[in-house]
Structure 1
């Protein structure tokens, strides 16, 4: 392929050909990229650089080049004073069984190549770095023994390499990197002597091969004790040891032992053989548990990762989250991350395996233990400094409701501080959405939300929980969201951050705001990568009916409408939607046991009952954010036949901050208004709403109309959220200002919601989730509608009472009266639903808005 006259085709030695034929049945090569010929530059000779010396690597390279149509590494290059093969290695190996390396290997051939270019200014040679991995990830059919001889960081002897080829040769990866033009390197050398230039090229090649190997099989981590020693030798830890010894009046040696114990309790003990062995086991485990695991947008994530410190930040819905993500990354050729795990998972027999798989453990709280906090911070800083990929869950725990939880940003803050101290690699946060069709922990979640105490993790509990493995859990989807780069966020909030002090305890004023913004953006990007599976669509439809039952025709129509809505008005380009049609979705729901068919002569009815309905609410909540704009528009027509478009938009902007805070929506208020406009147009196109008066007035059909029925189903997916908002506002206004603290208001709201749920047989435990009321109250503070007085009690503006009146648009009178009747009131109690003196009386919410629309129509006809 080369036009260089200094390249000569030569035959391989007879022994080389013989070894190649003997090796051929045992080796199956996967090239990366599949067509490496596209990397080469025409007209320049090719010389290959491989990482390790050895006949097997040369044979594999020769065969890969031959199969790809590349120039052979066996061809001869004409160099000053001699000819040599078109391949060289970075290390030479001596010895038969165990091998001994000589790192001086590349200097001689690189020097010869440089001298050849100096003798002939018209000549160029392109060096192609080629990485060869034998048995990077043996599959589940390979056998346990294969795992022991899989690729790692050790330079092994010829005997061990031969065993690796025999056992794992069918899983051989040959990675071709972009060629390096030696002529260009020579031109940019700025007069370096040939000797120094040779050393520089060798050093660059070593760095390149280490980077590729780290990406493929994981970083070359030192022994756990070495990392622990590095942590203990940092200045912050030494200071903490001295402070503890002085404060507690103990010896320095005793304080040092305590710090070492903390570090050993925390630190991972990453082991490549254990990771591969666990991967081998998990492949069987997943096949027995799930019907399939899908990943979307992974190629985008992999393309963005090189050169960055990658921090995976998935949603947390099950104990299998971190196992699934690590397994899929390893299976896809990416090093699994080190995972922050709660110390409650450090169980006998289980903890050591997790630790060797990359888990490092942290306590739930650092309060009252300054030394532990310092040791943990320094350990995390060591991982960031070494470029170890990380994974942690910023929700702080598994979601029991199916929604994303309010973030706990402690790990984000520690990561940011570690980067600021040593900004060697830019940090990239990679959000990951994990979607299930059935959860192993589903029943325990429902119990906890209903008031049962959380069971503490234990070995006995783990053994008892193995019975869940008898079930099938459908499909799992991992969607990689849009990555978030830390550096641009730092540049935006603090342009001079690079000169910020590198002290370990530095806390710039802007850091807290940046961490909160980062946490919010991560949650938003997780939601922007949601997967809509068949169970999500069934849950959205069936749980919006009073008896959790629908006629089959209605259910099929509702699923088709929701799916069309998500497809025509995409939430983001990373949202994925099941390809199943409505009939297939219903059949799949029956097969999974989520719904039951009731036969009837007038048409079958599909129903979900009892515990299944409660568990199904989890999967509705997974995708509730995708339905937010549509649910708001539909809710406006629950109790109103007609409504002005401007009213839908105005009230939508008022309520949006609270929906956004609960569901981590991506828009600002104007962006949400645009979403609402597009949703209205979608409903108009589908004939569900009618537009009149030049688009200013919207009207739905009568209550018995199919379109009105579909609107009610869509609206009810968010109706409980609006009812929760009303409970909180009503409790506050009913009791009056300066009477309740935030904690007292949370308790009052939770008790009111629980009682309302009992009276109405609600099947959604998250309706009385205290955390959701806490988030709503916090959002009221942020928009400055509510604030705390000097005595710690809540005060509020008149806008809060306006919000109570606006609730008439959405909530039916009987719902408002039920909430007001149940909500406890103090000595300032008042009738919130009382009409002002000039109000002639509300016959119905519908008639109220008919009058509003009529007035608006008159105003447009007669502007004066």
Structure 2
């Protein structure tokens, strides 16, 4: 690469012979990684270059010279063109020292003053300042020795001997970060008539802030004294007031109340240690290699590019105890500071807790109720972290997902974060969603047991060690960490209240709009996590095999279904951050066999791929990871489970009605019109692939007969979502059978859960989440929000009489057998009262189509169900599409 030349032709001066000799002696001990890899592209040709390093040091000068030589940059040891400086480099922080028997006092700003004076009176002359950050021992390596972590990079300006040891021990892990150059001429012109001395101090201050920010981003904030954070929390006004209130309430002395608060802070606070983080990363590197076949990060460069200048809060999905270790490890090895992690106090185990605490974990209790002092102390600790610019990480789901779906968010930590920012909005907050995808879970068996009714096993050191021995005997495939679209807090606050900056002046104030902001923030985080999903081979196998009654499929059918699923995800991308396995269908099946998820049964008429009952239950977890990606396709396919023909308008209209419920369950990103646009694109995809036939100028859709491959493929796609509609039907049936003013919300949840459990036993369903009470609770909440049901004065649920019609409407989606089973099992009422829900099947033309405006939800706010039905009839007559729904034929496929 050609060197960037200087504007003035100044004779080059070689570095002293002893300097070059030292560089040659240290060369075997140094291995430099440049960031960016080609820093020459940052510089302007023809302008003299002066490098600025953070700290004065002989070793830093050697490292800089070598990095510049390898990158093809101007030599920092040559004179600076157009000035009297003998070197093209200077340091902001410099040591005082004794040289040849006399004390040499150094003024750090003197090089800047010289450069400013050299430009005075010469408007055509310029110097570009290039800040260069040098870190020795930052990036961990598997071949690093344990002792080397003690000499890794930190915030302390160490002595020459310690720096020499760091070079010898960690020199092969050296990072040299070149920042974008600063034009000194442009800065002078912008300063105007500012005095040179003041201008010099300003430039020096800006450079010091820049180096501080880069160092904080690379090795973490300066948290060398935990005591300073503890003292800051205890001296904060809200905590002092809480201590006084606690003393008065409990009738104890102020000193005793203070000691109680001090104990609480020590229980909570992290004790971050750079050597411990380095040591743990050294151990984890080997541990991950034994456990996983690879860890991949996607879109990390996008996340790192937007992070500088923000208080970053990582908000990943929570699938496993390995989540926070994996994310912290990958951030560390990628050159980003490890965040402080909110961990449950149940993980503060003897021997484990102190290590986690020194790795950045701070502990919180499961509930703050009944302990006002603890609540105030914890809130203040979070506020101190935000105020100091410490990156954080927490899981807004509140716990690990046992089903593979994202859980409904709990906004407690979000509220604390937002209130801390409102109190001191110095640094904008950025929430970074992260999707974590596994191919096999360490906790898989325990999750299945908990969902089947077994109590959750309490964490203990013995249990951890016992589990670790079992874990190391298996392989768990690959892991993916996908970084989603980040969310800035300020725009959300601006949208909620234009004057939030003035309203938040009172630290104790809780604005009326705070809850709505945090609710929208929590929902958007979950949506962005889902928009960054990784689709691995196990996800695709689970989607296909679990859609068949016996979890088995002929190899030829499975190959075709996998090919269809990949084509669907490629041609209709959910978002630009979703990643898809590059394996072809045959390789996916082979990989599933290798991982032990599927077994091959050889047969003369063609091999069959199957998964056992227990494996099928565990496999449902990985199907649920990606259900949202196929929601639109599954809805379209569901419309043709029991119908041969259906108008396109009916599919879209029913989609509008059902969408709010599946959106709340799967955290889908579109509004209603956006969902309909996705449905249109999906229908067109099915028509192109031959799964549906479009007639009547595209107004009527028809699927093939039951024995055709296209009908089978549609059925497989539909069954990934059909259980959601069965849960909805169970809820509606329970309400209708028991009648209004009979059940509370909790009683309805319990009735629905028992019905689903019994139905699962009778039908051997392999999805434990089918009877998850949280999913029923979410659906009931959506019914409340849409005013389909409401609570009367006695706390019982009331509803409009039109709700009973929903039971009849469900026959468009659910089969007669499923509906009869649910109605028979659901507790309450009697069979005669439910007869209205089981009207005979109709050979339908448009006039006999059911009142679909009430299917599973309320009609839009601007129309009654009768109006919607009338508009539907008028529209269909105007387009002459006389056949909207035709019941399915009875010629079942042999695969059934």
How high is the TM-score relative to the length of structure 1? Answer: 0.96
Q: State the Cα deviation string for residues 265-304 of structure 1 (Å, max 9, x = none).
A: 0000001111111111111000000000011111110111
- Picking from 469, 474, 486, the partner of 2:472 is 469
Between 1:247-256 and 1:112-121, the stretch displaced more is 112-121
Compute the displacement of 1:42 (Å).
Answer: 2.9
Compute the displacement of 1:196 (Å).
Answer: 2.1
1:541 aligns with 2:544: yes
Q: Is the 1:49–1:89 Cα contact (8 Å) retained in structure 2?
A: yes
Considering only aligned residues, what root-mean-square deviation do their CA atoms show, in Å? 2.1
Taking the aligned partners of 2:121 and 2:612, their CA distance within structure 1 comes to 85
Q: Is the 2:735–2:748 Cα contact (8 Å) retained in structure 1?
A: yes
1:732 aligns with 2:731: no
1:515 aligns with 2:518: yes
* Matched residue, 1:186: 188
Q: State the Cα deviation string for residues 621-672 of structure 1 (Å, max 9, x = none).
A: 0000111111111111111111111111111111111101100001111111
1:196 aligns with 2:198: yes
Aligned 1:212-223 pairs, distance under 5 A: 212-223=214-225
Instruction: Please state whether the residue corresponding to 2:95 is helix, strand or coil.
Output: strand
- Picking from 758, 761, 783, the partner of 2:761 is 758
CA separation of 1:616 and 1:102: change in aligned 2, threshold 3 A: farther
Q: State the Cα deviation string for residues 491-523 of structure 1 (Å, max 9, x = none).
A: 111111111133232111111111101100000
Taking the aligned partners of 2:324 and 2:272, their CA distance within structure 1 comes to 15
In structure 2, list runs of 5 or more residues that go unmatched. 851-871, 883-896
1:721 aligns with 2:736: no
* Matched residue, 2:159: 157
Instruction: Please state whether the residue corresponding to 1:519 is helix, strand or coil.
Output: helix
1:618 aligns with 2:617: no
Instruction: Please state whether the residue corresponding to 1:586 is helix, strand or coil.
Output: helix
1:588 aligns with 2:587: no
CA separation of 1:105 and 1:171: change in aligned 2, threshold 3 A: farther
1:817 aligns with 2:820: yes
Taking the aligned partners of 1:587 and 1:408, their CA distance within structure 2 comes to 40
Compute the displacement of 1:799 (Å).
Answer: 4.2
* Matched residue, 1:321: 323
Q: Is the 1:126–1:181 Cα contact (8 Å) retained in structure 2?
A: yes
* Matched residue, 1:630: 633
Instruction: Please state whether the residue corresponding to 1:25 is helix, strand or coil.
Output: helix
CA separation of 1:706 and 1:92: change in aligned 2, threshold 3 A: same
Compute the displacement of 1:93 (Å).
Answer: 2.6
Q: Is the 1:136–1:150 Cα contact (8 Å) retained in structure 2?
A: yes
Q: Is the 2:7–2:81 Cα contact (8 Å) retained in structure 1?
A: no
Aligned 1:779-794 pairs, distance under 5 A: 779-794=782-797
Aligned 1:451-470 pairs, distance under 5 A: 451-466=453-468, 467-470=470-473
* Matched residue, 1:77: 80
Q: Is the 1:641–1:850 Cα contact (8 Å) retained in structure 2?
A: no
* Matched residue, 1:138: 140
Q: State the Cα deviation string for residues 602-624 of structure 1 (Å, max 9, x = none).
A: 01111101210000000000000
Q: Is the 1:138–1:146 Cα contact (8 Å) retained in structure 2?
A: no
Taking the aligned partners of 1:223 and 1:106, their CA distance within structure 2 comes to 27
CA separation of 1:733 and 1:808: change in aligned 2, threshold 3 A: same
* Matched residue, 1:176: 178
Between 1:48-57 and 1:187-196, the stretch displaced more is 187-196
- Picking from 226, 251, 254, the partner of 2:253 is 251
Q: Is the 2:139–2:174 Cα contact (8 Å) retained in structure 1?
A: no
Instruction: Please state whether the residue corresponding to 1:51 is helix, strand or coil.
Output: strand
Instruction: Please state whether the residue corresponding to 2:141 is helix, strand or coil.
Output: coil
* Matched residue, 1:436: 438
In structure 1, list runs of 5 or more residues that go unmatched. none
Q: Is the 1:79–1:112 Cα contact (8 Å) retained in structure 2?
A: no
Compute the displacement of 1:91 (Å).
Answer: 1.9
CA separation of 1:203 and 1:457: change in aligned 2, threshold 3 A: same
- Picking from 299, 302, 308, the partner of 1:297 is 299
Compute the displacement of 1:225 (Å).
Answer: 1.4
CA separation of 1:694 and 1:139: change in aligned 2, threshold 3 A: same
Total equivalences in the alignment: 853
Taking the aligned partners of 2:439 and 2:386, their CA distance within structure 1 comes to 35
CA separation of 1:256 and 1:715: change in aligned 2, threshold 3 A: same
Q: State the Cα deviation string for residues 24-80 of structure 1 (Å, max 9, x = none).
A: 111111111122122222332211111111111111111111222211111113777
Taking the aligned partners of 2:140 and 2:474, their CA distance within structure 1 comes to 27
* Matched residue, 2:415: 413
Taking the aligned partners of 1:680 and 1:78, their CA distance within structure 2 comes to 68
Compute the displacement of 1:7 (Å).
Answer: 4.0
Q: Is the 2:647–2:881 Cα contact (8 Å) retained in structure 1?
A: no
Compute the displacement of 1:697 (Å).
Answer: 1.2
1:32 aligns with 2:35: yes
* Matched residue, 2:890: none
Q: Is the 1:7–1:75 Cα contact (8 Å) retained in structure 2?
A: no
Taking the aligned partners of 2:106 and 2:671, their CA distance within structure 1 comes to 60
Taking the aligned partners of 2:624 and 2:50, their CA distance within structure 1 comes to 57
Q: Is the 1:642–1:849 Cα contact (8 Å) retained in structure 2?
A: no
Taking the aligned partners of 1:309 and 1:190, their CA distance within structure 2 comes to 33
Instruction: Please state whether the residue corresponding to 2:643 is helix, strand or coil.
Output: coil
Instruction: Please state whether the residue corresponding to 2:528 is helix, strand or coil.
Output: helix
Between 1:615-624 and 1:664-673, the stretch displaced more is 664-673
Instruction: Please state whether the residue corresponding to 1:563 is helix, strand or coil.
Output: helix
How high is the TM-score relative to the length of structure 2? Answer: 0.93
Taking the aligned partners of 2:640 and 2:206, their CA distance within structure 1 comes to 67
Q: State the Cα deviation string for residues 126-156 of structure 1 (Å, max 9, x = none).
A: 2111111111023011211221111111111
Taking the aligned partners of 1:450 and 1:728, their CA distance within structure 2 comes to 21
* Matched residue, 2:886: none
* Matched residue, 1:704: 707
* Matched residue, 2:841: 842
Compute the displacement of 1:122 (Å).
Answer: 3.2
Taking the aligned partners of 1:185 and 1:671, their CA distance within structure 2 comes to 48
